[in-house]
Structure 1
Amino acid sequence: MTVDEGISRVSVPSPETRDRRVAQDDDPAVRDMVARLSAAWPAVAETTVEAVVASAFESFREARVRAYVPILVERRVRKVLGALCRDTPSGPEDGRYEGEERK
């Protein structure tokens, strides 16, 4: 299974589920992730970013190896937000590595 498999399953949440908070709300790493992603996509409401992060975490709910879940979640959320906005994030937090070109 690759990182990109299952991305189509992560969708922008409906208004009914948009108020649902990330299950790991008390986790500072999750709060930092939401803040970073909200700053990278200022056109997207923070509640939408929180809901997409929650949805991505939910898709990894049954993952046995938990160490890489935050990294996989952030990559998935960046792809979803990029597709949602059809725009690139602002600043150096755009998910590329040094020397990597945008596809």
Structure 2
Amino acid sequence: MTADSTDRPCVVTTALGTEDEAEALAASLVEAKLAACVQVMHVRSFYTWEGELKREPEWVLFAKTRSALFAQVEAFIRQHHSDELPEILQLPVGGGSADYLRWLLDATTPQA
């Protein structure tokens, strides 16, 4: 793996209210080389919003990227997300298959 300690693989998560919106955002993140891979999973979320308990279907995105791109990924999600307050979480990757992590970093390296 070629990343230094300030540019390590990470996973960025967000959740969207429709499958179409989730798939469009996932594809756009990969096409923009902001993520090497994005998984979309259907879940049911429970949360409180404006004093009311919500129980909603959502599609969660797990975007595999690099920590140095987090600000760009966050801005991209905010720009393309329909929620007033989108979930955007960065999860560090503490380890993994060296070959996979090398591919992840290569796939998110801007072309010269």
What TM-score, normalized by structure 1, do the two folds share?
Answer: 0.32
Quick check: which one's strand share is greater? 2
- Looking at secondary structure, tell me which structure has more helix per residue: 1
